[in-house]
Amino acid sequence: MKKLLKRTLIFLMSLILVSCLQVKNSEKQNVNIKTRQKTSPNLIVILADDLGYADVGFNGCKDIPTPNIDKIANQGVKFTNGYVSYAVCGPSRAGLITGRYQDRFGFSRNPLFTPNDPEMGLPLTEETLAEALKKADYKSVALGKWHLGAHESLKPLTRGFDDFYGFLTGGHHYFPQKWILNDEFDVKSQYDAYKTKLLRNNQRVEEKEYLTDALSREAVHYIDKHKDHPFFMYLAYNAPHTPLQATEKYLSRVDTIQDKKRRTYAAMVSSVDDGVGLVLDQLDALNLTENTIVVFLSDNGGPEPHNGSDNGVLRGMKSDLFEGGVRVPFAMQWPGTIPAGMVYNKPVISLDIFGTIVNQTKKEIKTKNKIDGVDLIPFLLGSNKGLPHDFLFWSKFDEQIYATRHANGDKFLVKDQDTMLFNLDVDISETENIAGTNPLALDSLARTFNNWNAKNIDPVFMGLFQDKEYSELHPDRFERLE
């Protein structure tokens, strides 16, 4: 009996020792990342607009060459289950830039262009990633599409960014000759804002280059400008969002594509790919590559019939809560830390970009609000064997469409009063509604969504669907108010 007791005690002590060593090794791995860095890592987020899931090489695209975008996946990790927090651009960007589900703060609609309205955009209660990183002495630059508010109090320089080059509205013309409006108060309707001249910080400028090329040029410039500080670059390309406009330089690369819409779209994607290449080359030239996290993703799925995009096997498109609306091309590199050529299959979301970078800085950051994103690095390096997220959530308030995805592949979706359940692991195209045969899973996911949604608030501003109503209520919408 004594021998048995002794053996049992030895076995238990061995288990405790192994467990302690595992914890220490996990802690050591995380510490090693920080100690081998001379400074906090830079972060570059490259956000495409309305890019289809199947329109990059790393997701199998054959007719659009994307060698530079693919390089990010090849030098780092491709997320096969990479999501955004909304199926259209404004709310999706609000989630990304705050690390929080935008429903937490009522940004559940695509905002209107209203330069007089301080409520039309990202609420001041929210902390942007640029504001959070200021606490660790980062410099931040926003390039391209803002779409988080046009009022003076909501512009990038008031939301933590040190520099801005781009436009405030949800879209823009690409050719400089179309930029005929000198000021936001020259705008007379929602889509007039596509014609505004670009802003450098708070000043209008006379730009001569094709929009995508101009943003790429500025990105290279700002990497050089901030090379001696930790920096965050938010490079939000407008391409390939409509209007479909491309230069002959890019059209000639894809002249084998017969469909005119698809060809112009492909040319616009190629222009983004060139810009990504310039950014990566500049990092190499300045020896910044191993100290820079680069993330590439789209703000939502492709609106296939509108811009010629392709979501591949995914059902639905932009604005849908089917996979085609919210699952996007998503890759990240951090050479020397993230293993090259990695494929990660567990669900992640754009909110995790915030969660990842704030946990890598030399100086600890305490965020203003509780974020929903997580640090992906321990999961990618294997020190955390768990799941980044058990559940992901989406809600379209006005249409009462909502969805929940479990990490096991089950996805619950309610649309037009139809309740659907799919298992994405075996049915990525969401073709078979299995709600009738899985009542327990359906009930569990419905309750999980309701618990999440109970912490959200109603929209705090009118959106694109209320454009006419808003203008009637605010006849001075575009007048300069003293």
Residues 131, 65 share a domain: yes
**Mean pLDDT score across all residues of the chain:** 93
Closest among 77, 74, 122, 54 to 346, alpha carbons compared: 77
**Active site members:** 89, 147
Of the three residues 340, 355, 381, the one that is the final residue of a domain is: 381
- Angle, CA of 406, 412 and 416, to the nearest 5°: 155
Q: What is the mean pLDDT of residues 244-272?
A: 97
| Nearest residue to 242 (alpha-carbon basis) of 360, 89, 131, 349 | 89
**How many domains does the structure of the chain reveal?**
2
Residue 26 lies in a domain: no
Instruction: Look at residue 9 and tell me if it is in a domain.
Output: no
Q: What is the mean pLDDT of residues 4-21?
A: 45
Q: 3-state SS of 7-69?
A: HHHHHHHHHHHHHHHHHHHHHHHHHHHHHCCCCCCEEEEEEECCCCCCCCHHHCCCCCCCHHH
What pLDDT, on a 0 to 100 scale, did the predictor assign at position 417?
87
Confidence of residue 481 (pLDDT cuts 50, 70, 90): confident
Question: Do 94 and 205 share a structural domain?
Answer: yes
Q: Are residues 437 and 369 in the same domain?
A: no
End of a domain among 325, 346, 381?
Answer: 381
Who has greater pLDDT, 390 or 39? 390
289 and 415 fall within a common domain: no
- In a domain, residue 303? The reply is yes
Is 266:254 a contact under the CB 8 Å cutoff?
yes
For residue 11, what pLDDT is reported? 45
Tokens of 130: 């640029």
Tokens of 468: 């006419």
304-317: pLDDT as tens digits: 999 999 999 999 99
Contact (Cβ atoms closer than 8 angstroms) between residue 39 and residue 293: no
Tokens linked to 85: 């927090």
Q: Which amino acid is at 345?
A: N
Identify whether 90 is part of a domain.
Answer: yes
What is the full DSSP assignment across 370-410? --S----HHHHHTS--S-S-SEEEEEETTTTEEEEEETTSE
pLDDT (tens digit per residue) in 204-257: 999 999 999 999 999 999 999 999 999 999 999 999 999 999 999 999 999 999
Decide if 342 is inside a domain: yes
CA distances from 185 to 189, 224, 466 (A): 10, 34, 20
> Domain boundary at 381, 407, 436, which?
381
pLDDT tens readout for residues 378-437: 999 999 999 999 999 999 999 999 999 999 999 999 999 899 999 999 999 999 999 999
Q: Is 465 among the domain residues?
A: no
**Whole-model pTM?**
0.92
Residue 247 exposure: Cα atoms within 13 Å on the Cβ side: 14
Residue 14 lies in a domain: no
Q: What is the pLDDT of residues 435-479, one digit of tens each?
A: 999 999 999 999 999 999 999 999 999 999 999 999 999 999 999
CATH of the domain at 365: 3.40.720.10
Domain that holds residue 264: 40-381
* Residue 477 in domain: no
pLDDT for the residue numbered 33: 53
How confident is the model at residue 249, as a pLDDT? 97
Same domain, 411 and 446: yes
